[in-house]
Amino acid sequence: MEPWPRIVVHADMDAFYAAVEQLDDPSLRGKPVLVGPKSARGVVLTASYEARAYGVSSAMPVGAALRRCPDAIIVGPRFDRYQEISSQVMDTLADFSPRVEALSMDEAFVEMTGAGRLFGSPTQMGRKIKEAVRKVTRLNISVGVASTKYVAKVASAHDKPDGLTVVPADGARAWLAPLPVSRLWGAGRKTVPRLHALGLRTIGDVATADARVLGRLGSLGAHFSALANATDPRPVNRTRVARSIGSDRTLVADVSRREDIELHLRRASDRIGRRLRAKRYVAHGVRVRLRTNRFQMLTRQRKLRQGVDLGAELRVAAESLLDQFDDPGPFRLVGMAAFDLAEREGDRQLDLFEDRAARELEMTVDDLMHRFGGGVLMRARDLADWATVANEGVNLDYLETTGPEDA
Protein backbone atom coordinates (compact mmCIF):
# COMPACT_ATOMS: atom_id res chain seq x y z
CA MET A 1 0.00 0.00 0.00
CA GLU A 2 1.28 3.46 -0.90
CA PRO A 3 1.94 5.83 2.03
CA TRP A 4 -0.87 8.28 2.71
CA PRO A 5 -0.08 11.74 1.28
CA ARG A 6 -2.58 13.26 3.67
CA ILE A 7 -4.97 12.07 6.40
CA VAL A 8 -8.37 13.73 6.83
CA VAL A 9 -11.05 12.55 9.24
CA HIS A 10 -14.75 13.39 8.96
CA ALA A 11 -16.61 12.75 12.20
CA ASP A 12 -20.42 12.79 12.21
CA MET A 13 -22.68 12.13 15.21
CA ASP A 14 -25.41 9.54 14.63
CA ALA A 15 -29.01 10.89 14.62
CA PHE A 16 -27.66 13.60 16.90
CA TYR A 17 -30.76 15.35 18.28
CA ALA A 18 -32.65 12.07 18.72
CA ALA A 19 -29.60 10.39 20.28
CA VAL A 20 -29.31 13.17 22.87
CA GLU A 21 -32.99 12.79 23.75
CA GLN A 22 -32.58 9.03 24.18
CA LEU A 23 -29.46 9.61 26.27
CA ASP A 24 -31.25 11.99 28.65
CA ASP A 25 -34.49 10.00 28.82
CA PRO A 26 -33.83 6.24 29.13
CA SER A 27 -37.51 5.49 28.47
CA LEU A 28 -36.96 6.58 24.84
CA ARG A 29 -34.13 4.15 24.15
CA GLY A 30 -34.90 1.52 21.56
CA LYS A 31 -38.05 3.35 20.49
CA PRO A 32 -38.81 5.39 17.36
CA VAL A 33 -38.23 9.04 18.26
CA LEU A 34 -38.92 12.12 16.16
CA VAL A 35 -37.41 15.44 17.21
CA GLY A 36 -39.68 18.22 16.01
CA PRO A 37 -42.97 19.98 16.71
CA LYS A 38 -46.01 18.14 17.99
CA SER A 39 -47.96 19.34 14.99
CA ALA A 40 -48.64 17.75 11.62
CA ARG A 41 -47.83 21.13 10.05
CA GLY A 42 -44.17 20.97 11.03
CA VAL A 43 -41.22 18.91 9.80
CA VAL A 44 -39.01 16.30 11.42
CA LEU A 45 -35.66 17.72 12.47
CA THR A 46 -34.10 14.35 13.30
CA ALA A 47 -35.42 10.78 13.40
CA SER A 48 -33.88 8.04 15.52
CA TYR A 49 -32.64 4.95 13.72
CA GLU A 50 -35.63 3.04 15.08
CA ALA A 51 -37.89 5.50 13.24
CA ARG A 52 -35.74 5.47 10.11
CA ALA A 53 -36.46 1.75 9.76
CA TYR A 54 -40.01 2.81 8.81
CA GLY A 55 -38.78 5.15 6.08
CA VAL A 56 -38.89 8.31 8.18
CA SER A 57 -36.23 10.94 7.49
CA SER A 58 -35.34 14.48 8.47
CA ALA A 59 -37.21 17.30 6.68
CA MET A 60 -40.24 15.01 6.25
CA PRO A 61 -43.59 16.53 7.32
CA VAL A 62 -44.54 15.27 10.77
CA GLY A 63 -47.92 14.10 9.50
CA ALA A 64 -46.28 11.95 6.81
CA ALA A 65 -43.78 10.58 9.33
CA LEU A 66 -46.57 9.52 11.70
CA ARG A 67 -48.41 7.79 8.89
CA ARG A 68 -45.31 5.71 8.23
CA CYS A 69 -44.53 5.19 11.89
CA PRO A 70 -47.71 5.62 14.00
CA ASP A 71 -45.94 4.61 17.22
CA ALA A 72 -43.26 7.29 16.93
CA ILE A 73 -42.70 9.48 19.98
CA ILE A 74 -42.41 13.19 19.20
CA VAL A 75 -40.00 15.20 21.34
CA GLY A 76 -39.60 18.96 21.09
CA PRO A 77 -36.07 20.19 20.27
CA ARG A 78 -33.75 21.48 23.01
CA PHE A 79 -31.08 23.40 21.15
CA ASP A 80 -29.25 24.57 24.27
CA ARG A 81 -28.70 20.95 25.27
CA TYR A 82 -27.56 19.98 21.76
CA GLN A 83 -25.10 22.88 21.77
CA GLU A 84 -23.73 21.72 25.13
CA ILE A 85 -23.03 18.21 23.78
CA SER A 86 -21.69 19.69 20.53
CA SER A 87 -19.12 21.71 22.46
CA GLN A 88 -17.96 18.53 24.21
CA VAL A 89 -17.59 16.78 20.85
CA MET A 90 -15.60 19.63 19.28
CA ASP A 91 -13.35 19.94 22.34
CA THR A 92 -12.67 16.20 22.13
CA LEU A 93 -11.76 16.41 18.44
CA ALA A 94 -9.44 19.31 19.24
CA ASP A 95 -7.49 16.97 21.52
CA PHE A 96 -6.44 15.07 18.39
CA SER A 97 -5.53 18.03 16.17
CA PRO A 98 -5.41 21.84 16.32
CA ARG A 99 -7.12 21.91 12.90
CA VAL A 100 -10.80 21.13 13.39
CA GLU A 101 -13.35 22.52 10.94
CA ALA A 102 -16.89 22.31 12.33
CA LEU A 103 -19.56 22.06 9.64
CA SER A 104 -22.49 22.04 12.04
CA MET A 105 -23.23 21.11 15.64
CA ASP A 106 -22.76 17.41 14.94
CA GLU A 107 -20.05 17.04 12.29
CA ALA A 108 -16.51 18.23 11.64
CA PHE A 109 -13.36 17.63 9.63
CA VAL A 110 -10.11 16.93 11.47
CA GLU A 111 -6.69 17.27 9.81
CA MET A 112 -4.60 14.31 11.04
CA THR A 113 -1.66 14.44 8.61
CA GLY A 114 1.59 13.81 10.48
CA ALA A 115 -0.15 12.51 13.61
CA GLY A 116 0.77 8.86 13.05
CA ARG A 117 3.45 8.84 15.73
CA LEU A 118 0.89 9.98 18.30
CA PHE A 119 -2.19 8.02 17.30
CA GLY A 120 -1.04 5.20 15.03
CA SER A 121 -2.37 4.21 11.63
CA PRO A 122 -5.39 5.92 9.99
CA THR A 123 -7.59 3.06 11.21
CA GLN A 124 -6.25 3.42 14.75
CA MET A 125 -6.85 7.19 14.57
CA GLY A 126 -10.48 6.61 13.67
CA ARG A 127 -10.98 4.11 16.49
CA LYS A 128 -9.40 6.37 19.07
CA ILE A 129 -11.56 9.32 18.01
CA LYS A 130 -14.71 7.18 18.29
CA GLU A 131 -13.68 5.90 21.72
CA ALA A 132 -12.85 9.38 22.99
CA VAL A 133 -16.17 10.88 21.87
CA ARG A 134 -18.12 7.96 23.36
CA LYS A 135 -16.27 8.31 26.66
CA VAL A 136 -17.06 12.02 26.94
CA THR A 137 -20.64 12.07 25.60
CA ARG A 138 -21.82 8.43 25.89
CA LEU A 139 -22.96 8.80 22.26
CA ASN A 140 -21.86 7.10 19.06
CA ILE A 141 -20.11 8.90 16.23
CA SER A 142 -19.40 7.63 12.72
CA VAL A 143 -15.96 8.34 11.27
CA GLY A 144 -14.59 8.37 7.76
CA VAL A 145 -10.83 8.52 7.11
CA ALA A 146 -9.40 9.39 3.70
CA SER A 147 -6.87 11.63 1.97
CA THR A 148 -9.41 14.29 0.94
CA LYS A 149 -12.29 16.05 2.64
CA TYR A 150 -14.82 14.83 0.11
CA VAL A 151 -13.96 11.14 0.34
CA ALA A 152 -13.77 11.34 4.15
CA LYS A 153 -17.27 12.83 4.29
CA VAL A 154 -18.73 10.16 2.02
CA ALA A 155 -16.91 7.48 4.04
CA SER A 156 -18.36 8.62 7.38
CA ALA A 157 -21.89 8.03 6.06
CA HIS A 158 -21.03 4.68 4.47
CA ASP A 159 -21.54 2.45 7.50
CA LYS A 160 -23.82 4.38 9.87
CA PRO A 161 -24.60 4.17 12.68
CA ASP A 162 -21.42 3.85 14.76
CA GLY A 163 -19.34 3.20 11.65
CA LEU A 164 -15.66 3.48 10.80
CA THR A 165 -14.72 3.48 7.12
CA VAL A 166 -11.11 3.96 6.01
CA VAL A 167 -10.41 4.69 2.31
CA PRO A 168 -6.71 4.79 1.32
CA ALA A 169 -5.73 7.31 -1.33
CA ASP A 170 -4.71 4.68 -3.88
CA GLY A 171 -8.12 3.00 -3.67
CA ALA A 172 -10.37 6.04 -3.35
CA ARG A 173 -11.37 6.30 -7.01
CA ALA A 174 -12.39 2.65 -7.20
CA TRP A 175 -14.21 2.87 -3.85
CA LEU A 176 -16.29 5.83 -5.05
CA ALA A 177 -17.09 4.34 -8.48
CA PRO A 178 -20.19 2.22 -7.65
CA LEU A 179 -21.85 4.89 -5.49
CA PRO A 180 -24.84 6.81 -6.90
CA VAL A 181 -24.32 10.32 -8.28
CA SER A 182 -26.47 11.66 -5.43
CA ARG A 183 -23.41 11.17 -3.21
CA LEU A 184 -21.47 13.84 -5.13
CA TRP A 185 -21.00 16.97 -3.05
CA GLY A 186 -23.38 19.54 -4.54
CA ALA A 187 -25.62 17.09 -6.41
CA GLY A 188 -29.05 17.63 -4.93
CA ARG A 189 -32.65 17.13 -6.01
CA LYS A 190 -32.31 19.52 -8.97
CA THR A 191 -28.95 18.32 -10.25
CA VAL A 192 -29.32 14.54 -9.95
CA PRO A 193 -32.01 14.37 -12.68
CA ARG A 194 -29.71 16.38 -14.96
CA LEU A 195 -26.92 13.85 -14.39
CA HIS A 196 -29.31 10.97 -15.07
CA ALA A 197 -30.45 12.64 -18.29
CA LEU A 198 -26.81 12.57 -19.44
CA GLY A 199 -26.64 8.84 -18.74
CA LEU A 200 -24.58 9.30 -15.57
CA ARG A 201 -25.90 7.25 -12.67
CA THR A 202 -22.81 6.29 -10.67
CA ILE A 203 -19.79 8.27 -9.56
CA GLY A 204 -17.72 5.97 -11.76
CA ASP A 205 -19.78 7.10 -14.76
CA VAL A 206 -18.89 10.71 -13.94
CA ALA A 207 -15.20 9.87 -13.44
CA THR A 208 -14.92 8.48 -16.98
CA ALA A 209 -17.36 10.84 -18.71
CA ASP A 210 -16.25 12.91 -21.69
CA ALA A 211 -15.50 16.52 -20.80
CA ARG A 212 -17.94 17.68 -23.48
CA VAL A 213 -20.76 15.78 -21.78
CA LEU A 214 -19.94 17.21 -18.37
CA GLY A 215 -19.63 20.64 -19.95
CA ARG A 216 -23.40 20.69 -20.33
CA LEU A 217 -23.54 21.15 -16.56
CA GLY A 218 -21.45 24.31 -16.71
CA SER A 219 -18.93 24.79 -13.91
CA LEU A 220 -20.51 21.91 -11.98
CA GLY A 221 -19.21 19.48 -14.59
CA ALA A 222 -15.56 20.10 -13.76
CA HIS A 223 -16.37 20.11 -10.06
CA PHE A 224 -18.09 16.72 -10.23
CA SER A 225 -15.32 15.26 -12.41
CA ALA A 226 -12.69 16.23 -9.83
CA LEU A 227 -14.67 14.73 -6.95
CA ALA A 228 -15.42 11.52 -8.89
CA ASN A 229 -11.69 11.11 -9.47
CA ALA A 230 -11.04 11.58 -5.73
CA THR A 231 -9.44 14.99 -6.26
CA ASP A 232 -10.19 17.58 -3.60
CA PRO A 233 -7.32 19.87 -2.56
CA ARG A 234 -9.32 21.95 -0.09
CA PRO A 235 -7.61 22.31 3.30
CA VAL A 236 -9.20 21.74 6.67
CA ASN A 237 -9.79 25.25 7.97
CA ARG A 238 -9.20 25.75 11.66
CA THR A 239 -11.90 28.42 11.88
CA ARG A 240 -15.09 28.69 9.91
CA VAL A 241 -17.17 31.86 9.78
CA ALA A 242 -20.90 31.28 9.60
CA ARG A 243 -22.70 32.32 6.45
CA SER A 244 -25.89 33.20 8.33
CA ILE A 245 -27.74 32.93 11.62
CA GLY A 246 -31.45 32.44 11.24
CA SER A 247 -34.74 31.63 12.90
CA ASP A 248 -37.66 29.97 11.10
CA ARG A 249 -41.10 29.39 12.59
CA THR A 250 -43.76 27.11 11.12
CA LEU A 251 -46.97 28.42 12.66
CA VAL A 252 -49.90 26.60 14.21
CA ALA A 253 -52.28 28.89 12.29
CA ASP A 254 -51.64 30.65 8.97
CA VAL A 255 -51.19 34.43 9.09
CA SER A 256 -51.93 37.14 6.54
CA ARG A 257 -52.07 40.42 8.46
CA ARG A 258 -48.88 42.46 8.51
CA GLU A 259 -49.04 42.90 12.28
CA ASP A 260 -49.11 39.13 12.76
CA ILE A 261 -46.07 38.68 10.52
CA GLU A 262 -44.28 41.48 12.36
CA LEU A 263 -44.95 39.71 15.66
CA HIS A 264 -42.88 36.72 14.54
CA LEU A 265 -40.20 38.88 12.95
CA ARG A 266 -39.86 40.74 16.24
CA ARG A 267 -39.33 37.50 18.14
CA ALA A 268 -36.88 36.26 15.52
CA SER A 269 -34.87 39.49 15.57
CA ASP A 270 -34.51 39.27 19.36
CA ARG A 271 -33.24 35.68 19.15
CA ILE A 272 -30.87 36.37 16.27
CA GLY A 273 -29.50 39.48 17.94
CA ARG A 274 -28.68 37.53 21.09
CA ARG A 275 -26.91 34.84 19.09
CA LEU A 276 -24.91 37.39 17.11
CA ARG A 277 -23.70 39.04 20.30
CA ALA A 278 -22.92 35.69 21.96
CA LYS A 279 -20.77 34.65 18.99
CA ARG A 280 -19.28 38.13 18.58
CA TYR A 281 -20.59 38.55 15.02
CA VAL A 282 -22.09 41.51 13.25
CA ALA A 283 -24.42 41.14 10.26
CA HIS A 284 -24.28 43.18 7.07
CA GLY A 285 -27.49 41.80 5.61
CA VAL A 286 -31.01 40.73 6.58
CA ARG A 287 -33.25 38.18 4.84
CA VAL A 288 -36.96 37.47 5.33
CA ARG A 289 -38.62 34.23 4.21
CA LEU A 290 -42.36 33.58 3.97
CA ARG A 291 -43.82 30.21 2.98
CA THR A 292 -47.37 30.30 1.67
CA ASN A 293 -50.02 27.71 2.49
CA ARG A 294 -49.33 26.47 -1.06
CA PHE A 295 -45.77 25.62 0.13
CA GLN A 296 -44.17 28.28 -2.07
CA MET A 297 -41.14 29.87 -0.40
CA LEU A 298 -40.76 33.63 -0.98
CA THR A 299 -37.54 35.45 -0.06
CA ARG A 300 -36.48 39.09 0.08
CA GLN A 301 -33.22 40.50 1.43
CA ARG A 302 -31.23 43.70 1.78
CA LYS A 303 -27.70 44.78 2.66
CA LEU A 304 -27.06 47.13 5.57
CA ARG A 305 -24.84 50.19 5.58
CA GLN A 306 -22.85 48.80 8.53
CA GLY A 307 -22.63 45.66 10.64
CA VAL A 308 -25.33 45.32 13.30
CA ASP A 309 -25.93 43.00 16.24
CA LEU A 310 -29.00 44.48 17.94
CA GLY A 311 -32.41 42.90 17.64
CA ALA A 312 -33.99 46.33 17.23
CA GLU A 313 -31.81 47.10 14.20
CA LEU A 314 -32.52 43.72 12.64
CA ARG A 315 -36.27 44.15 13.20
CA VAL A 316 -36.41 47.51 11.43
CA ALA A 317 -34.56 46.10 8.43
CA ALA A 318 -36.76 43.00 8.31
CA GLU A 319 -40.02 44.91 8.54
CA SER A 320 -38.93 47.20 5.71
CA LEU A 321 -38.67 44.12 3.47
CA LEU A 322 -42.35 43.25 3.91
CA ASP A 323 -43.28 45.98 1.43
CA GLN A 324 -41.46 44.00 -1.27
CA PHE A 325 -43.71 40.92 -0.99
CA ASP A 326 -46.62 41.03 -3.41
CA ASP A 327 -48.22 37.74 -2.34
CA PRO A 328 -51.12 38.34 0.09
CA GLY A 329 -50.68 34.97 1.77
CA PRO A 330 -51.77 33.32 3.93
CA PHE A 331 -48.39 32.19 5.22
CA ARG A 332 -47.57 29.10 7.25
CA LEU A 333 -43.91 29.94 7.94
CA VAL A 334 -42.20 33.19 8.89
CA GLY A 335 -38.42 33.13 8.80
CA MET A 336 -35.61 35.61 9.18
CA ALA A 337 -31.82 35.44 8.87
CA ALA A 338 -28.86 37.71 9.42
CA PHE A 339 -26.24 37.11 6.71
CA ASP A 340 -22.90 38.42 5.45
CA LEU A 341 -21.45 37.96 8.92
CA ALA A 342 -18.12 39.21 10.16
CA GLU A 343 -16.31 38.52 13.38
CA ARG A 344 -16.31 41.50 15.71
CA GLU A 345 -12.81 42.52 16.72
CA GLY A 346 -12.61 43.91 20.24
CA ASP A 347 -15.39 46.12 21.55
CA ARG A 348 -17.92 47.24 18.98
CA GLN A 349 -17.50 50.87 18.01
CA LEU A 350 -20.86 52.56 18.46
CA ASP A 351 -22.43 54.47 15.63
CA LEU A 352 -22.81 58.19 16.32
CA PHE A 353 -26.59 57.93 16.08
CA GLU A 354 -27.02 54.52 17.71
CA ASP A 355 -29.64 54.20 20.44
CA ARG A 356 -27.43 53.47 23.44
CA ALA A 357 -30.44 52.80 25.66
CA ALA A 358 -31.54 50.03 23.28
CA ARG A 359 -28.10 48.43 23.46
CA GLU A 360 -28.03 48.58 27.25
CA LEU A 361 -31.51 47.03 27.39
CA GLU A 362 -30.62 44.14 25.08
CA MET A 363 -27.35 43.47 26.89
CA THR A 364 -29.26 43.38 30.21
CA VAL A 365 -31.72 40.87 28.74
CA ASP A 366 -28.75 38.78 27.51
CA ASP A 367 -27.41 38.63 31.05
CA LEU A 368 -30.75 37.70 32.60
CA MET A 369 -31.40 34.93 30.09
CA HIS A 370 -27.89 33.58 30.56
CA ARG A 371 -28.41 33.45 34.32
CA PHE A 372 -32.02 32.31 34.58
CA GLY A 373 -32.89 30.67 31.25
CA GLY A 374 -34.51 31.62 27.96
CA GLY A 375 -38.07 31.89 29.30
CA VAL A 376 -37.36 34.39 32.06
CA LEU A 377 -38.45 37.44 30.01
CA MET A 378 -40.82 38.22 27.18
CA ARG A 379 -42.43 41.33 25.74
CA ALA A 380 -45.80 42.21 27.31
CA ARG A 381 -47.25 42.83 23.84
CA ASP A 382 -46.46 39.20 22.92
CA LEU A 383 -48.20 37.55 25.88
CA ALA A 384 -51.54 37.00 24.17
CA ASP A 385 -50.04 35.32 21.13
CA TRP A 386 -47.16 33.35 22.60
CA ALA A 387 -48.84 29.96 22.09
CA THR A 388 -48.93 30.37 18.32
CA VAL A 389 -45.48 28.84 18.01
CA ALA A 390 -43.87 28.25 21.37
CA ASN A 391 -45.14 24.75 22.07
CA GLU A 392 -46.52 23.45 18.82
CA GLY A 393 -44.83 25.15 15.88
CA VAL A 394 -41.42 24.39 14.43
CA ASN A 395 -38.89 26.52 16.26
CA LEU A 396 -35.78 26.20 14.12
CA ASP A 397 -32.89 28.48 15.05
CA TYR A 398 -29.88 27.69 12.91
CA LEU A 399 -26.28 28.54 12.16
CA GLU A 400 -25.70 27.99 8.45
CA THR A 401 -22.17 26.90 7.54
CA THR A 402 -22.92 24.37 4.78
CA GLY A 403 -21.15 24.01 1.45
CA PRO A 404 -22.29 25.15 -1.98
CA GLU A 405 -26.02 25.05 -2.54
CA ASP A 406 -27.50 22.74 -5.08
CA ALA A 407 -27.62 24.23 -8.55
pLDDT score at 359: 53
Instruction: Decide if 354 is catalytic.
Output: no
Instruction: Give this prediction's pTM.
Output: 0.68
Q: What is the per-residue pLDDT for 403? A: 38
Alpha-carbon span 72 to 87, nearest angstrom: 29
* pLDDT at res. 362: 55
pLDDT number for residue 59: 84
| The pLDDT value given to residue 399 | 53
**Catalytic residue among 21, 50, 101, 107, which?**
107
Cβ density class 46-65: b for 16+ within 10 Å, e for less: bbbbbbbebebebebbbeeb
Which pLDDT score is estimated for 356? Answer: 57
- Residue 174 CA to residue 266 CA, distance in Å, equals 52
Helix (H), strand (E), coil (C) string for the chain: CCCCCCCEEEEEECCHHHHHHHHHCHHHCCCCEEECCCCCCCECCEECHHHHCCCCCCCCEHHHHHHHCCCCEEECCCHHHHHHHHHHHHHHHHCCCCCEEEEECCEEEEECCCCHHHHCCHHHHHHHHHHHHHHHHCCCEEEEEECCHHHHHHHHCCCCCCCEEECCHHHHHHHHCCCEHHHCCCCCCCHHHHHHHCCCCEHHHHHCCCHHHHHHHCHHHHHHHHHHCCCCCCCCCCCCCCCEEEEEEEEEEEECCHHHHHHHHHHHHHHHHHHHHHHCEEEEEEEEEEEECCCCEEEEEEEEEEEECCHHHHHHHHHHHHHHCCCCCCEEEEEEEEEEEEECCCCCCCCCCCCHHHHHHHHHHHHHHHHHCCCCCCCHHHHHHHHHCCCCCEEEEEEECCCCCCC
Helices 356-372 & 311-321, crossing angle to 10 degrees?
Answer: 110
Residues in the chain, how many?
Answer: 407
Q: What is the pLDDT along the chain (407 residues), one digit of tens a residue?
A: 557 899 999 999 999 999 999 999 999 999 999 998 887 778 899 999 999 999 999 888 899 999 999 999 999 988 879 888 998 999 999 999 988 998 888 999 999 999 998 999 999 999 999 999 999 999 999 999 999 999 999 999 999 999 999 999 999 999 999 999 999 988 888 899 999 999 999 999 999 999 999 999 998 899 999 999 999 989 998 755 557 888 888 887 889 999 999 999 998 998 899 888 887 888 999 999 999 988 888 999 999 888 888 888 999 999 999 999 999 989 988 999 998 888 765 544 444 444 556 556 555 655 555 555 555 455 555 444 444 433 334 445 555 544 333 32
